[in-house]
Amino acid sequence: MPVPDPQTFARILDASIEGKYAIASINVTSSNTAAAALAAFAETKSDGILQISTGGGEFFSGPAKDMALGAIALAEYIHRIAERLDVYIAITTDHCVPAKVEPFLKPLIAEAKRRQQAGLRNLFNGHMFDGSELPMKQNMEIARGLLAEMAPLGLFLEVEAGVVGGEEDGIDNTHADHSKLFTTPEDMVYVYEQLHDLGAFTLAATFGNVHGVYKPGNVKLKPSILKDGNDAVVAKYGAAAKHKLVFHGGSGSTLDEIHETLDYGVVKMNVDTDCQYHFTRPIADHMLKNYDGVLRIDGEMGDKKTYDPRSYLKKGEKGMKDRVIQASTELRSLGKSIYRA
């Protein structure tokens, strides 16, 4: 059962808190990118999370252009392959903004209900609602409604308070108000107060983190914000109230910054941009080195071995696999799978 059930997923997150490591959460958009991440987790005996965004779901749905259908189909693929592995692979969704709740999250929740009525396991372990564009009160009102619907199904909800800068998958916060890039202790207390009575959730608190990769010095992170926020929650409601935190925009972070966040309650870190690059870079290299083989130039027939998609997609998978292994190494999760056959 390498896609964990709700109780096992909770244990995976609890173990990361206790061990001061975090789970690498990798965005996937295709069977190739999913296979790359699965291979990395299997090779390193590390539990992992594969996540599907609205854009990733729509891409995988092909001509249907249905983000929910694509997410379901990709999750079904992951389940089939993960069954053969000796690590747990959780599946979640990523960054669903308010406008996409109806076409994306609602059908996925309905699918979970349908599966449970049919005696089938959940496809997903949780979903993310990104209401950071809204005033906090409205953000949490929608989050409460979603969690009330999801919790009885055994689904975690991930919420965001504060804005992650940069741009990812059509969500552009490049010019966001600077003050919104930092979640306040009051925000973190408010999120706990609004959600703790409904079910299991994680919080993507922001501390200057930005989607994408930037040159050293361009992004100013303040991980201490996470400590201050969780300290405020614990001071008011006790140690059991400490948030399980999610680190978004982690691709370009320094190792010291990553390790500091692990001390403050981060249980997973999303890695997307770097994985995209490390998938594409070997493919670009293949094309440039085999230009006269992948193309039929001057009446020649080219070289089938070089334009066979498998020849370069395997290289892309290897490049992305190596980057996922790097992420697990940096997050101190190597060899720490809780899976027992």
* Given 94, 169, 187, 274, the catalytic residue: 94
Tell me the two tokens of residue 117: 């009525």
Following DSSP, what letter does each residue of 236-267 receive, concatenated?
A: HH-GGGPPPEEE-S-TT--HHHHHHHHTTTEE
Contact between residue 269 and residue 24 where contact means Cβ atoms under 8 Å apart: yes
Task: Region of 54 please: left (phi>0), alpha (psi -120 to 50) or beta.
Answer: alpha
Using CA atoms, how far residue 100 sits from 54, 182, 226, 273, in Å, is 8, 24, 28, 22
5 noted as active-site residue: no
**Largest Cα–Cα distance in the chain?**
76
Residue 162, classified by CB atoms within 10 Å of its CB into exposed (0-12), middle (13-18) or buried (19+), is: buried
Give the residue numbers marked as catalytic. 94
